[in-house]
Structure formats: structure tokens, C-alpha cells
A = this chain, B = another copy of it.
Amino acid sequence: MISYPNGKIFRQANIKKERKQNNIKYKAGNRGMALEDDINISNSFYDEKGLCLITKRPTPINVVKVDYSKGATITNAYYEKQSTTDYNGIYKSRYIDFEAKSTNNKSSLPLSNIPKQQIEHLKKVITHGGIAFFIISFNTRNEIYFLEAQKVIDFIKNEDRKSLPYEYIKENGHLIEQGYLPRLDYLKIIDKLYF
């Protein structure tokens, strides 16, 4: 268990449970889960402190069959593609929307990791006046970057490449401070860029 400064408690068991659950999905390489955990825990911390309200969208699942004799147990279903992004919410009256990506690649983030509809979604967020970005983890470097969605949109528009180079992210993005609580202090970067 982690004791929060304001006395509330965040149960390690929940983190473990969530990790276990999500592992099912991310079995292939287990990429992304550590990053997702860190963001979720950071968001819970921010929420407890009353700083912002940012939540993870549940993974969309298409339910085919439910067994009511077993207390509404879903017995046949499959994962659907997320057509939006993983996270959204509100901070200082501004709409926040972002996607978390993680790679074991040292030199770039393959653009195949970013579905077209996510780019379209983030473009719309910008059009409507929201704050849109990516959180990108280079696992082998232990470096996590905040990169404005516009920078990704510009790159895709101007370059005919299959991946986003590490150097581009480093130059155009912002290294996120990693700590105990919050684990990833990305609000600090939003403050610097937008307020």
C-alpha cells in the first residue's frame, strides 16, 4: 500500500489486480503496461490532490454472449480497436486528451503503433481547443517524453517515414520527470506549455 500525503491510501492490491488483468491483453511482450500503470497511478494522485480529473477510457469490448445462469458472466467477447485515445479529462478548465505509447526500440517509435483514427481524433481535439499530446516511453532508455500531438501531425505530414525518430521526439518533446508521487509529473509540462 502507498500512503498518500493527504492520508488517503492507494491499494497496491488494486495495481496488482489491474496489472494482472491487463497482462492478459498485453501478453505479447507486455509492452505498455508499466507505462499505463504509472500514468494511472499519477492520475489517481493528481485526483486525490484535486489538481485535475483525467481518466483512462476502458478498453472497448464487443460482448457476444452473456451467461445469466452464472450471474451475468460474459462467456464470449472480443477486444475492439480503440478509435479514440486512452486518456481524457479536464485540467484548469481545459480539455485534455492523450495517448500513451511505449517502445523497446532505442532509436524510434514505429508509426504503425499509432492508428490513423487516433491521429484524426487528436486533430479534432486541437480544432475544438483542447490540449492533445502523446506520452512516449523509450523503455530501454528509461526516458519518457511528452510530445504535443501537433508535432506528430506535422512529422507525418512532412516526412515519408515509418517511424518517429528518438532524436525528433527529444528535440520537439519534453522529458517527463519520474518520481515517487506522482510517478510521471506530466502536469508540470502542461503548466509550462499552456498556462
Judging by beta carbons under 8 Å apart, are A93 and B129 in contact?
A: yes
**A61 is an interface residue with CB less than 8 A from chain B:** yes
Q: Would you list which residues of chain A between 95 and 125 have a CB under 8 Å from chain B?
A: 95, 97, 121, 124-125
Q: Would you list which residues of chain A between 41 and 69 have a CB under 8 Å from chain B?
A: 47, 50, 52-53, 55, 57-63, 65-66, 68
Complex alpha-carbon distance, A97 and B88, angstroms:
11
Complex alpha-carbon distance, A127 and B50, angstroms:
9
Give the number of chain A interface residues (Cβ < 8 Å): 45
Judging by beta carbons under 8 Å apart, are A79 and B90 in contact?
A: no
**A188 is an interface residue with CB less than 8 A from chain B:** no
Judging by beta carbons under 8 Å apart, are A90 and B84 in contact?
A: no
